[in-house]
Structure 1
């Protein structure tokens, strides 16, 4: 990583992805279909439901991070200096990571627009992005202090856990546990990235940790355990808050919303009617479902 900016931008992206995936799964299991049915009484978001929101979000964040890494504080669009020596190695490794996730964003946009029904390929590109990130970070530790190395090793472990869970989803698309494990591991990856940036570059204070003190290494291993527990609490709070909000607005029967749509999840979810419809509402709902199937 090139500095605090790189750690902060990466951490924010992974945490945003985790929050988005949580929102997506809660909508898919709780929220009614939002579309162009003439009797839809909740939302009129015909355009939004067709947008590959996740792909656009990922592509925007990755390109912003890549460009930001290259221009933050000084211009770095060079691989070699006048003597042919590789320069800005940390910056270029980080930009390569951004490029890997940009490919995932492009794949997500593609399967949401031109190649519908090929959602599994988006997961393949996500696994590829995690593999690129983990490989780069594995060779990112030469000549660093003990604390710096240990904190980055923990990050590498979380990256490969994300890769493992994503590969599991590719082979077991109907499994309900693996997506939540991926969401959990991705959130920790982001929060720990922010933690690394704050410890190594201390942007909020002038205090610097002794990076060769073994007590500090032990202390931050405990902090990582707190990150793991905090991620579980944050995800549970998100789920409860989303469900309460959706019920408050009367969205209490299940059908996935296409704007947050995941083809694999849709096949594994069952439409469970939890409210009593009037004849007109039931007919409007059936018309909306049949129209979506024709599309």
Structure 2
């Protein structure tokens, strides 16, 4: 699969941004729901979902435009009458991937607006987008580029894991374990897209790694596991930071409540004392 470093970095940034955002958002949501006895979805949470869907749709639309209208892109031409063949299927491949994430963003918006659509529609649309992405990578014709095939096969494992997890979330809503695992799959996809760019099309120029060296296959498989270890480290760090932030906010609110209670007590004491004291009259003087 012809891969440019900038294109691979753009795709990796798309997934990595969402993974970082979820790695902070979901732990905070879990801690707040755990602290509150009544964990009902608020209007603020629905607005966050709508904003998240809008950002997803914007990034996906930007990816479609970049894939189609780069100087070497197909410019919306799928079939060439001159060559009697398909036009640049690699760019159309990624355009199709971004198209389903665009639909997923739209699904996030409409499922949390006033249309009262089923709440699991957002997770279902995300699962469909991820399954489509994995399908595109599995059945692409890599030809003799064996290392390219191996890199995208490893990527497909992260993609299908996230797709299956999102599908489970249709039935198990707000499950922190599933949300954390889906977040890790997005972080892994983001970092691995960057790795693919460095391997197949280095930014400093020159050819990519040797496609026939079997030791590269072994090293990159280990590297994929190291990427997931880094993903878990990011999740742990952001979860710890979210917990500290949540506890500090609770302490501040408790201090405010204590001050308000003390103020009310002082005012209450003053009013009660003044009620107990006899009123001074002119006769006493």
Q: Quick check: 1:90–1:140 contact (8 Å CA) kept in 2?
A: no
Instruction: Show the 5 A alignment for 1:185-224.
Output: 185-206=185-206, 208-224=208-224
Mean Cα deviation higher: 234-243 or 210-219: 234-243
Distance (whole Å) between structure 2 residues aligned to residue 162 and residue 48 of structure 1: 22
Q: How far is 1:241 from its partner? A: 2.0
Q: Answer yes or no: is 1:84 the counterpart of 2:84.
A: yes
Distance (whole Å) between structure 2 residues aligned to residue 278 and residue 115 of structure 1: 42
Q: How far is 1:280 from its partner? A: 6.5
Instruction: Show the 5 A alignment for 1:1-295.
Output: 2-30=3-31, 50=47, 52-77=50-75, 78-82=77-81, 83-116=83-116, 118-173=118-173, 175-206=175-206, 208-248=208-248, 250-251=249-250, 277=257
Q: How far is 1:48 from its partner? A: 9.8
Q: Quick check: 2:130–2:159 contact (8 Å CA) kept in 1?
A: yes
Question: Is the helix fraction higher in 1 or 2?
Answer: 2
Distance (whole Å) between structure 2 residues aligned to residue 178 and residue 224 of structure 1: 21
Q: Match of 1:41?
A: none
Q: Quick check: 2:79–2:85 contact (8 Å CA) kept in 1?
A: yes
Q: How far is 1:193 from its partner? A: 1.1
Q: Quick check: 2:142–2:148 contact (8 Å CA) kept in 1?
A: no
Distance (whole Å) between structure 2 residues aligned to residue 7 and residue 252 of structure 1: 44
Query: What is the TM-score when the length of structure 1 is the normalising length?
Result: 0.75
Q: Deviations over 1:28-70 (max 9, x none)?
A: 13359xxxxxxxxxxxxx9997352211110111111110111
Aligned to 2:79, what secondary structure does the other structure show? coil
Q: Quick check: 2:67–2:73 contact (8 Å CA) kept in 1?
A: no
Q: Deviations over 1:204-243 (max 9, x none)?
A: 3536321210011111111111001110001111112233
**Aligned-pair Cα RMSD in Å:** 2.8
Runs ≥4 residues deviating over 6 A = 46-49, 273-276
Distance (whole Å) between structure 1 residues aligned to residue 30 and residue 91 of structure 2: 41
Structure 1: any 5+ residue segments left out of the alignment?
Answer: 33-45, 254-272, 282-295
Distance (whole Å) between structure 2 residues aligned to residue 204 and residue 237 of structure 1: 32
Aligned to 2:206, what secondary structure does the other structure show? coil
Change (3 A) 1:155 1:174: same
Count of residue pairs the alignment pairs up: 248
Structure 2: any 5+ residue segments left out of the alignment?
Answer: 34-42, 262-285
Q: Deviations over 1:248-291 (max 9, x none)?
A: 4x2469xxxxxxxxxxxxxxxxxxx988845979xxxxxxxxxx
Aligned to 2:179, what secondary structure does the other structure show? helix
Q: How far is 1:141 from its partner? A: 3.8
Q: Quick check: 1:192–1:224 contact (8 Å CA) kept in 2?
A: yes
Task: Determine which structure has more spread, i.e. the larger CA radius of gyration.
Answer: 2
